[in-house]
Amino acid sequence: MSANKPGDPTTLNRLYGRSKGKALRASQQDLLDKLLPQVAVPEDGEVTAERLFGQAAPLHFEIGIGGGEHLAYRADMLPDHGFIGAEPFVNGVAQALTHVRDGPEGNGPLRNVRLHMGDALQVLDRIPDGSLSFVYLLHPDPWPKARHAKRRMVNDGPVRMIADKLKPGGEFRFGTDHAIYLRHALMVMRRFTDEFDWLVEGPKSWQRRPGGWPETRYEAKARNVFEHEVWYFRYRRR
């Protein structure tokens, strides 16, 4: 499909960007071969807490987990909740699996996490409407060129899907260190004021990391190495 055709991630029907990086260590490959099948989201059918974890539970979904630091922190903090993380980058999934195996503090395995190595929207689409308590989208690929804007995850199609999947009172958390993406995302979210309330009380609301939102290595590098400002946004489903 031509990159110049209209659409967004829900209609382009393909992933962009890399899926592999440097060669995996033997231990990482072993996690992919042995642990990932045990915690993988089923390839078809409805995706529910009961199916994944054997019982009803508040369900969280993270789009693009990177190395899994945020997902592991939240899952460890909320052991009675279920967490789904999706990531197409093999090296990131391998790193996330170390957190699943060891826990964020090395205090044991996380049994309330399931992973999908691939397109997050393919899993999100199979979650029944009104099922999710939280959706997280932290530092997504900014696709800064205007002709690539359709590839950004914050676009009408994905945001519409996120709104449908969240239960009333559920929360969509979005974070970025990229000014172009920031302006684009705010423009898109203004079209969804009937679906979301922006949880904001002035500049401190988006300039300071909210409680329960850990700093990942990516965020620390963006702030301390590249001297980027980081913005945090919380939207509550009406």
Specify whether the CB–CB gap between 12 and 1 falls below 8 A.
Answer: yes
Q: What tokens were used for 169?
A: 């009172």
Mutual orientation of helices 156-165 and 179-189 as an angle, nearest 10°?
Answer: 60
30 is catalytic: no
Q: Which of 80, 141, 164, 197 is catalytic?
A: 141
CA distance 159 to 185: 10
Specify whether the CB–CB gap between 1 and 13 falls below 8 A.
Answer: yes
- Count of CB atoms within 10 A of residue 160's CB? 15
Q: b/e per residue, 92-126, with b = 16+ CB within 10 A? A: bbbbbbbbbeebbeeeeebebbbbbbbbbbebbeb
CA distance 106 to 95: 14
List, by residue number, the catalytic residues: 141
